[in-house]
């Protein structure tokens, strides 16, 4: 049950001033049913993952909580992220649902809480108000860092200008078909860590001929090439698998490197293709 020796990234913003380190590789849990989440997360922890990504929307926080409670690992060794669900943006709903998240996860303090979607065009919702409630939760001391997900540059600028608090993280769809250069440039300027969701393009990138060719040239698998690309690009990455063998393979990426030519070939796959929803399309 020893931890993977993956690097960690220091979150420089959106914290209460303490040093918060996020392991660069974590395990995603989207589409893992609550009934199977305990087993899947226990397997991930057993393989050595210490960073788990869940969300109110996934309906599996209780299962993740059961894995945390039964795994026997010290709380401080784990990094747990959850996210505010779309119907919960209003202050009272956000505070109440945050308490439900903590109850389900069985935690006193969460490591990272994200606004799942900006909902910028949803009537009756204002992303600045939502961000103010997130800051209130941060100041309560029950979360170590706050951030956002699926925010576009204009959303980031709006909440920062209104509150002065910079999100620690923006978790966005990111993989070699959608390299998100503009957002990453804005994040670098603002000191926001970039976290890649659907890092394997939900599996679709595994058959990309360039990825396959690089994998064959190095004697590794396509998923390992892609995850290594995320790590070498300085991104936090949270691939999801329900299979222990794949979890282990996805984490076995520290014994090879991608040279500049291979990194450039993967960067050049960018074609602005999404496998998930565009942030502007998600409304309450
Ligand atoms: N913030 C957001 O809005 C947002 C949106 C989407 C996702 N996320 C987070 O990001 C995480 C990852 O994204 P994702 O789940 O959408 O997609 P992903 O990690 O890119 O891909 C997951 C898919 O790839 C398969 N897979 C994983 N490793 C594999 C391997 N080594 N070989 C072959 N197939 C493999 C999985 O199948 P099996 O499970 O059957 O192995 C699953 O079908 C999510 O789980 C969630 O935590 C966040």
Token code pair at residue 45: 């922890």
Average pLDDT, whole number, for the chain?
97
Whose CA is closest to atom 37 on ligand 1? 241
> Ligand 1: which atom is nearest the Cα of residue 223?
31
Determine the distance separating the centroid of ligand 1 and the alpha carbon of 113, expressed in angstroms: 20
241 lines ligand 1 (CB under 6 A): yes
pLDDT confidence band for 8 (50 / 70 / 90): very high
- Put simply, whether the predicted model's pTM sits higher than 0.85 gets the answer yes
Determine the distance separating the centroid of ligand 1 and the alpha carbon of 237, expressed in angstroms: 10
Orientation of helix 61-70 relative to helix 91-105, angle to 10°: 40
Please determine, for residue 21, whether its predicted confidence score (pLDDT) is greater than 70.
yes
Please write the tens of the pLDDT for every residue from 147-196: 999 999 999 999 999 999 999 999 999 999 999 999 999 999 999 999 99
Residue 175 forms beta bridges with which residues?
178
Please determine, for residue 281, whether its predicted confidence score (pLDDT) is greater than 90.
no
The SS3 call for residue 168 is coil
Q: Give which of 170, 171, 232, 177 is closest to 200, Cα–Cα.
A: 177
Q: What is the mean pLDDT of residues 26-55?
A: 98
CA dist., res. 219 & res. 142, Å (int) = 45
pLDDT confidence band for 121 (50 / 70 / 90): confident
Token code pair at residue 113: 């809480």
133 lines ligand 1 (CB under 6 A): no
CA dist., res. 228 & res. 251, Å (int) = 9
> Where in the sequence numbering do the catalytic residues fall?
58
Please determine, for residue 1, whether its predicted confidence score (pLDDT) is greater than 70.
no
CA dist., res. 199 & res. 186, Å (int) = 20
């Amino acid at each position: 049950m020893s931890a993977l020796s993956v690097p960690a990234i220091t979150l420089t913003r959106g914290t209460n001033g303490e040093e918060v380190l996020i392991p660069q590789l974590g395990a995603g849990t989207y589409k893992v049913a609550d009934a199977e989440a305990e087993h899947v997360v226990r397997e991930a922890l057993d393989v050595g993952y210490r960073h788990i990504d869940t969300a109110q929307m996934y309906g599996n926080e209780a299962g993740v909580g059961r894995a945390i409670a039964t795994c026997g690992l010290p709380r401080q060794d784990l990094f747990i992220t959850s996210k505010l669900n779309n119907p919960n943006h209003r202050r009272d709903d956000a505070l109440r649902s945050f308490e439900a998240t903590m109850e389900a996860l069985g935690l006193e303090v969460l490591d990272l809480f994200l606004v799942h979607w900006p909902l910028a065009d949803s009537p009756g919702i204002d992303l600045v108000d939502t961000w103010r409630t997130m800051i209130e939760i941060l100041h309560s001391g029950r979360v170590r860092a706050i951030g956002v997900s699926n925010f576009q540059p204009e959303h980031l600028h709006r909440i920062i200008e209104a509150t002065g608090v910079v999100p620690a993280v923006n978790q966005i769809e990111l993989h070699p078909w959608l390299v998100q250069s503009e957002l990453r440039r804005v994040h670098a300027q603002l000191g926001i860590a970039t976290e890649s969701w659907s890092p394997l393009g939900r599996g679709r990138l595994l058959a990309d001929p360039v990825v396959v060719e690089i994998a064959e040239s190095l004697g590794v698998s396509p998923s390992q090439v892609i995850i290594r690309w995320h790590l070498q690009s300085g991104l936090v990455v949270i691939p999801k698998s329900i299979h222990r063998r794949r979890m282990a393979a996805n984490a076995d990426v520290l014994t090879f490197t991608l040279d500049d030519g291979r990194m450039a070939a993967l960067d050049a796959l960018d074609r602005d293709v999404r496998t998930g929803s565009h942030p502007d399309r998600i409304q309450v």
